[in-house]
Amino acid sequence: MRIRLRFTKLGKIRFTSQRDVARMWERALRRAELPLAYTAGFSPRPQLSFGLALPTGCESLAEYLDVVLDDHRPETAAVEVSALPARLTDLLPEGIDVEEVAPVDRRADSLQQQVTSCSWTMRVSGVTRHQLEEQVASLLAAPTVPIVRERKGREELDDLRPSVLALAVSDDPAPGSDHVGPARPSSVGVVAELATQPRGVRPVELVRGLVAVSGPSPEGTSVGMTLDSGNNVGTPVLDRACRTQQWIERDGARQEPLQRRGHLAGADRATHALERAS
């Protein structure tokens, strides 16, 4: 049996890496004594598959994990799926809350293959709201936005523009924004939808794109650098970022891999507030 779990990554725990989170999950699942299916071979590992990696330092309201249970074990049929969120949340570090769980088709595509885009809320400082609005407009109007991205240890030039599906300055209390603080008092809110195929775009890369369209030289600017760069144009610096949704296409419609019950209304409102850019 394959089950899919939806969970958060909020607060201090955001400083752990995707790999760290995977190991936390392995330990939690063993503590829950779930009848996990293991890989064969000299070094058996539980069969877990995570979706799109979340960059270290980013928060999330929409992380997913697929777990395969061993159908040959009698306990598997007895697993009470609906009780898992509460049970697993207790075994995971603070900030990782399991919110949904559901069985999925074993043969379905992996999360990594299915997810086509992600929605983000961000806080950016170093610029005024007005400056940022101009930068967002320039980026959306630009035919191409070349940015330097690191790939397998090498830096290469890549066009960011096709991956930016939506982008807007927004101080709306988007879902997750209560977790995105405490932001710098001067920070401005951004909402974005970024494509994940063929390569996922990270929030820092989006901000790099904003820098690229706003200044004459993208060289020497990086996210996280100090604010007082003496730049009159205003160099945006990413303070916080939170992934609010991951999206899959099903029957021509966009939906989440697992709906977050009770949060549906808020999520929809925020999504529709986005200015569709493509």
Partner 1 sequence: MTQYQRSGSAPAGARMARQMECLWPRVESLLSQVTKPARYIGGELGAQAPEHRPDAVSWLLIYPDTYEIGLPNQGLQILYEILNERPDAVAERAYAPWVDMEAAMRAAGLPLFSLENHLPARAFDVLAFNLSAELVYTNVLNLIDLSEVPVHRSARAPGDPIVVAGGHCAFNPEPLADFVDCFVLGDGEEAVSEINEVLAGVKARAPNGDDQTGALASRETLMRALSQVPGVYVPWCYEPSYQPRGERRHAPHEERPAVARLAATTPRFPETPERVEKRTIADLGEWPYPRQQLVPLIEVVHDRLNVELFRGCTRGCRFCQAGMITRPVRERPADQVRTMVREGLARTGYDEVALTSLSSADYSGIEDTVTSIIDDPSCSGQVSVSLPSLRVDAFTVGTAAQIQRVRRTGLTFAPEGGTWRMRQVINKLIREEDLYAAVDAAFSQGWRRVKLYFLIGLPTETDEDTLGIVELAKQCVAIGRRYHKGVTVTASVGGFVPKVQTPFQWFGQNTIEELNRKVHLIRDAARPVRGLTIRWHDPKATAAEGIVSRGDRRMGAVIEQVWRRGGTFQEWTEHFDLELWTDALADQGMSLEDAVYRHRSEHEALPWDHLSAGLHRDFLWQDWVDALAQHGLEDCRWTPCYDCGACTGFGIEHVVASAVPPAGGSQGTGQDLSTGGQVPVRFLPTVPSGAVSASGSNQGAAVRVGVGRS
Does residue 79 bind partner 1 (CB under 8 A)? Answer: no
Does residue 24 bind partner 1 (CB under 8 A)? Answer: yes
The runs of H, that is alpha helices, within the chain are: 18-31, 74-78, 84-91, 111-114, 129-141, 177-180, 203-214, 264-273
Bridge partner residues of 155 (DSSP): 150
Residue whose CB is less far from partner 1, 29 or 174: 29
Q: Which residue has the tokens 């996210």?
A: 223
The Cα diameter of the chain in Å comes to 67
Q: Which residue has the tokens 């958060």?
A: 8
Q: Which of 5, 10, 28, 174 binds partner 1 (CB under 8 A)?
A: 28
**Residue 118 and residue 196 in contact, taking contact as beta carbons nearer than 8 Å:** yes
Kindly state the smallest distance separating residue 125's Cβ from partner 1, in Å: 11
Does residue 31 bind partner 1 (CB under 8 A)? Answer: yes
Q: Which of 15, 7, 5 is nearest to 241 (CA)?
A: 15
Q: Which stretch binds partner 1 (CB under 8 A): 24-32, 78-86, 105-113, 209-217?
A: 24-32
Q: Which stretch binds partner 1 (CB under 8 A): 31-39, 61-69, 190-198, 244-252?
A: 31-39
Kindly state the smallest distance separating residue 71's Cβ from partner 1, in Å: 16
**What is the DSSP annotation of 143-179?**
S--EEEEEETTEEEEEE-GGGEEEEEE--S--TTHHH
Q: Which stretch binds partner 1 (CB under 8 A): 38-46, 134-142, 194-202, 262-270?
A: 38-46
Residues 6 or more apart from 207 whose CB is under 8 A from it? 122, 124, 223, 236, 237, 238
Kindly state the smallest distance separating residue 84's Cβ from partner 1, in Å: 15
Tell me how crowded residue 97 is: count the other CB atoms within 10 A of its CB: 16
Does residue 150 bind partner 1 (CB under 8 A)? Answer: no
Q: Which stretch binds partner 1 (CB under 8 A): 7-15, 118-126, 130-138, 189-197?
A: 7-15
Pairing, β 115-125 against β 146-151: unpaired
Does residue 133 bind partner 1 (CB under 8 A)? Answer: no
Kindly state the smallest distance separating residue 181's Cβ from partner 1, in Å: 11
Question: Distance of CA 43 to CAs 40, 50, 111, Å?
Answer: 7, 20, 24
Residue whose CB is less far from partner 1, 94 or 275: 94
Residue whose CB is less far from partner 1, 19 or 269: 19
Residues 6 or more apart from 85 whose CB is under 8 A from it? 5, 97, 98, 99, 100, 101
Q: What part of residues 175-194 is at the interface with partner 1 (CB under 8 A)?
A: 182
Does residue 3 bind partner 1 (CB under 8 A)? Answer: no
Number of chain residues interacting with partner 1 (CB under 8 A): 27
Q: Which residues bind partner 1 (CB under 8 A)?
A: 12-13, 15-17, 19-20, 23-24, 26-31, 33, 38, 42-44, 56-57, 91, 93-94, 182, 224
